[in-house]
Amino acid sequence: MFVEVPSWSKVDNPVNYRINGTNAMSLITVGDSWTYGDSLGKTKVREGNDDLDYRIEHIYGNIMSKELKCSWMNIALPGISNTLMINWLSKFLDECIDPNNTVCVITLTESGRHEDLRLIDRSLVKQQLVLENILSVTYSQITLLRLRFPNVKFVVAHNFTDGDKEFACDKSWLEIMLDKTIQNGTHIVVSEHIEQMNYESRFPDVLDIMERAKNRIDLLDSCKYCYKEDSRHPNEEGHKLWAEYLLTQI
């Protein structure tokens, strides 16, 4: 196995594979709990429950691969950092796949989780600047993948945080579900991760970061396509909407 699941994870099956047709194209989807399909059916990662067949059937990657009539690999771990996400993808492309006729959809999550903490540059002083720098490093890592695998089509997007429209898709998953533009430089949402970034010393703009996070959570709570628990994971219709949008980006 090309992945080593972190000790903190409650998931031991971050990789799933299906063949949904005879098209020679391969589809890879990469992401966190949203891409994993947490909360679909009876799946509750925090409680150790995985409604595997139902979850796989309804996540956006499977919907896309059925439309494309191709094989599909889902690489997703609830709570994963963007750093580890890209590291796993890099290993997979190195070891496991013929890059020809392959489309890779990367749905990034918030910056500042776990391995991302190693990228904190205290000389930047403000947490917002640190988060922007971490995202820039993530984009640089993806750029290197594009250079190493020129025959792979990479589609880069964001789930509930904001990105650079010059590098990633012009809409996030949450924006697709809300059907409106919400980007305002929000790069981190989960309070636990905001706190972890401030353990060593407190950033002067942490209250602003927390306010942005609260506003984003309010938007998640207002979305009819999100469950109102944990990371407000998308429901079945939310996955369908994201699949439809991503198909236009390939």
Backbone angles phi, psi at 103, to 5 degrees: -115, 130
Per residue in 110-146, pLDDT (tens digit) is 999 999 999 999 899 999 999 999 999 999 999 999 9
Sheet with 152-158, strands from edge to edge, namely: 15-19, 70-76, 23-31, 102-108, 152-158
pLDDT given at position 1: 54
3-state secondary structure of 48: coil
Instruction: Please report where in the chains the tokens 């904190």 appear, as a residue.
Output: 120
pTM exceeds 0.85, yes or no: yes
Residue 149 CB contacts under 8 Å (≥ 6 apart), including other chains: 93, 99
d(CA 195, CA 212): 14
Average pLDDT, the chain: 93
d(CA 121, CA 147): 26
Domain 15-247 has CATH 3.40.50.1110: yes
Per residue in 206-236, pLDDT (tens digit) is 999 999 999 999 999 999 999 987 779 999 9
Output the DSSP codes for 196-238: HHTSSS--TTHHHHHHHHHHHHHHHHH-TTB-SSTTT-B-HHH
Q: Is the pLDDT of residue 180 over 80?
A: yes
Instruction: Please report where in the chains the tokens 């905001």 appear, as a residue.
Output: 194
Q: 212-228 burial by CB neighbour count: b if 16+ within 10 A, else e?
A: bbeebbebbeebebbbe
